[in-house]
């Protein structure tokens, strides 16, 4: 018996030792995603105003993917990065309107890394759902330091935020910051990494800045630097200063990793989340300014740089293979020695990083963002294959000879049109029914005793998205909700968020969940209205209504922008 006990202890110690060795051998991962930063807003890519020396330096010392594409707009791009799959598969094709929420069936990069022994963290922008089970703490992230909504001062964000001295959600608690958003987020990320640098557990640090997305605010240091260089003080000065501040912080992260000794075992990825077709692409790509919408390369073309010294010492510099945001997840998993899921649209960039076998240069890349609540076949679509671009299923361009996609040659190459059309048709036919991808906010789950709903996530009706619109009293819409268990639920209806403490200016409040409906009278100065409902487990549509005093002009009604829902019990 004693022998068996000793053997069991020995096996246990051996197993722990093997797990420890495996964790020690896995690289750390740092992903820096910059919001709304155009490919041509880097000095290395031809910009004559802003200077981005640290990003430029990284592009030369690491691997710089020059033909890298992301879905246009924030939520679709983040979906591609964090799932390795096309955003339409997850029901995401806009940034508001209930279709910017990552479906609960999707497995994220943070989930996969956490399940393989990684500590996981996010700093900055999430924009894939803020209720249960969609917030980052439910999607694999241990450490969460984020702003709300899709951007600073959007409906889900802390009321009154801008890029300076903003309030963030740190692991479920609001904390006030001191400084500019990009500085704060990188400082918090570095502090997190520094606390872990001597631990054996590998880490994943995802820094997703709200800069350089509007609203723009001037950074004092970089603004002065621009002025000292003689840059004209114009309406773009805030944007320029934010771009140069991003560059400073990328440099700060790279310097820290080197000084701390972490560089040699850290995979670093820097990318922008979308092309910006009205900021530079016109003069560089098409030869003239033309805002042509979402189907052309200038809206998809982003920069992406990968640094992993164990690989990039062999293959630094520019790589021109067709690549995209869906390739980030498989690349990270491959480098970290983690098995890849079998349902990915992306492919690992590791062969391009280290010269190993396995890269499929025949790959075709689909970028589609309908930019509406309804997905529509071929709407805002580009199918990319080597030098070819099939746009909206109708126009064909050869970007080697026609970089700006100005001359349609579809009639000259029907075989290419046919091949790329078949690729898209197969993708479209593989999508789940749209109805099954509507993300319901789960109410009454034990994991989330209180859930906050925001009108930004209405999946029917209006689609408000900024705090500036809260003064309007006209928007109405519908949430899809899932009642997790039978019982009584309390609904706290508000026009403004709790921290704003401002009145609703209505005399009646109403909530309707499925066939259950209740209304109550409220004081015109009331800041909230409380309504209790008995509900049965199931999935329903949910609406709210505020009715103004009888003497109001036209007496319009509107919906609550914020609803806090609590489960009271059976």
Q: How far is the C-alpha of 533 from the C-alpha of 514, rounded, in Å?
A: 11
Running DSSP on this structure, what letter comes out for residue 180? B
- Name, in order, each residue with C-beta under 8 angstroms of 151's C-beta and a sequence gap of 6 or more: 35, 74, 125, 127, 157, 210, 213, 214
Q: At what angle do helices 328-335 and 74-83 cross, to 10 degrees?
A: 30
Q: Write down the mean pLDDT value for the chain.
A: 93
Q: How many residues does the chain have?
A: 570
Are 325 and 67 in contact by the 8 Å Cβ rule? The answer is: no
3-state secondary structure of 124: strand
pLDDT of res. 292: 81
pTM: 0.94
Could you read off the pLDDT of 176-196 as tens digits, one per residue? 999 999 999 999 999 999 999
Q: Residue 6 gets which letter from DSSP?
A: H
Q: Rounded to the nearest 10 degrees, what angle do helices 237-259 and 220-228 cross at? A: 110
333-381, pLDDT tens digit by residue?
Answer: 999 999 999 999 999 999 999 999 999 999 999 999 999 999 999 999 9
Query: pLDDT digits over 31-79, tens only?
Result: 999 999 999 999 999 899 999 999 999 999 999 999 999 999 999 999 9
In CATH, the number for domain 440-569 is 2.60.120.260
Q: pLDDT tens, 72-105?
A: 999 999 999 999 999 999 999 999 999 999 999 9
Per-domain residue ranges of the chain: 11-361, 381-436, 440-569
More confident residue, 285 or 161: 161
Concatenated DSSP letters for 478-505?
Answer: EEEEEE-SSEEEEEEEESS-GGG-----
Contact 201, 117 (CB under 8 A): yes
Q: What are phi and psi of 386, to 5 degrees?
A: 50, -115
Residue 17 burial (C-beta neighbours within 10 Å; 0-12, 13-18, 19+): exposed
pLDDT 10s digits, 288-309 = 666 688 999 999 999 999 999 9
Give me the CATH code for the 11-361 domain, please.
3.40.720.10
Quick one: average pLDDT of 529-556? 92
How many C-beta atoms lie closer than 10 Å to residue 249's C-beta?
25
At 276, the pLDDT band (50, 70, 90 cuts) reads confident
Assess whether the previous peptide bond of 212 is cis (omega < 30° from 0).
Answer: yes
Orientation angle between helical segments 53-61 and 237-259, nearest 10 degrees: 50
- pLDDT tens-digit profile of 197-206? 999 999 999 9
The backbone torsions φ and ψ at residue 15, rounded to the nearest 5 degrees and listed phi first, read: -60, -45
């Amino acid at each position: 018996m004693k022998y068996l006990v000793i053997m069991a202890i020995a096996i246990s110690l051996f197993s722990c030792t093997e797990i420890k060795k495996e964790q020690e051998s896995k690289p750390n991962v740092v992903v820096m995603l910059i919001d709304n930063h155009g490919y041509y807003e880097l000095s290395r890519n031809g910009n004559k105003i802003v200077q981005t020396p640290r990003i430029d330096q990284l592009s030369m010392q690491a691997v710089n993917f020059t033909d890298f594409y992301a879905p246009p707009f924030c939520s679709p791009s983040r979906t591609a990065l964090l799932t390795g799959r096309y955003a339409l598969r997850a029901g995401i094709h806009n940034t508001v309107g209930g279709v910017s929420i990552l479906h609960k069936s999707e497995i994220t990069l943070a989930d996969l890394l956490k399940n393989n022994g990684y500590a996981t963290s996010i700093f900055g922008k999430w924009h894939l759902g803020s209720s249960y089970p969609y917030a980052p703490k439910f999607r694999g992230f241990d450490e969460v330091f984020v702003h709300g909504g899709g951007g600073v001062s959007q409906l889900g964000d802390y009321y009154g935020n801008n890029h300076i001295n903003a309030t963030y959600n740190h692991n479920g608690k609001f904390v006030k910051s001191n400084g500019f958003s990009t500085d704060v987020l990188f400082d918090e990320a570095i502090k997190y990494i520094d606390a872990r640098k001597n631990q054996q557990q590998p880490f994943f640090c995802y820094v997703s800045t709200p800069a350089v997305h509007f609203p723009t605010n001037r950074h004092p240091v970089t603004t002065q630097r621009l002025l000292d260089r003689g840059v004209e003080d114009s309406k773009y000065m805030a944007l320029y200063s934010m771009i140069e501040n991003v560059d400073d912080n990328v440099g700060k992260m790279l310097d820290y990793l080197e000084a701390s000794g972490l560089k040699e075992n850290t995979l670093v990825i820097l990318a922008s989340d979308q092309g910006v077709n009205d900021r530079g692409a016109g003069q560089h790509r098409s030869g003239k300014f033309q805002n042509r919408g979402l189907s052309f390369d200038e809206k998809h073309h982003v920069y992406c740089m990968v640094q992993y010294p164990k690989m990039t010492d062999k293959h630094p510099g520019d790589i021109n293979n067709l690549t995209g945001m869906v390739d980030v997840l498989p690349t990270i998993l491959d480098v970290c020695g983690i098995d890849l899921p079998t349902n990915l649209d992306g492919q690992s960039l590791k062969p391009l990083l280290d010269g190993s076998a396995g890269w499929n240069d025949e790959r075709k890349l689909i970028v589609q963002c309908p930019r509406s609540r309804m997905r529509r076949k071929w709407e805002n679509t580009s199918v990319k294959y080597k030098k070819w671009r099939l746009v909206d299923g109708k126009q064909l361009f050869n970007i080697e000879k026609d970089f700006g996609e100005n001359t349609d040659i579809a009639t000259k190459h029907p075989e290419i049109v046919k091949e790329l059309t078949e690729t898209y048709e197969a993708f479209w036919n593989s999508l789940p029914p749209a109805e099954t991808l509507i993300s319901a906010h789960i109410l009454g789950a034990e994991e989330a005793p209180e859930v906050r709903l925001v009108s930004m996530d209405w999946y029917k009706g209006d689609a408000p998205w900024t705090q500036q619109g809260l003064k309007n009293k006209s928007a109405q819409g519908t949430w899809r909700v899932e009642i997790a268990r039978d019982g009584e639920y309390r609904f706290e209806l508000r026009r403004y968020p709790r921290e704003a403490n401002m009145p609703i200016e209505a005399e009646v409040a109403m909530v309707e969940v499925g066939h259950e409906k209740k209304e109550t009278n409220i004081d015109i100065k009331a800041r909230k209205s409380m309504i209790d409902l008995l509900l049965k487990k199931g999935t329903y549509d949910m609406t709210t209504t505020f009715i103004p005093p009888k003497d109001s002009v036209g007496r319009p009604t509107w919906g609550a922008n914020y609803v806090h829902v609590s489960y009271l019990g059976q």
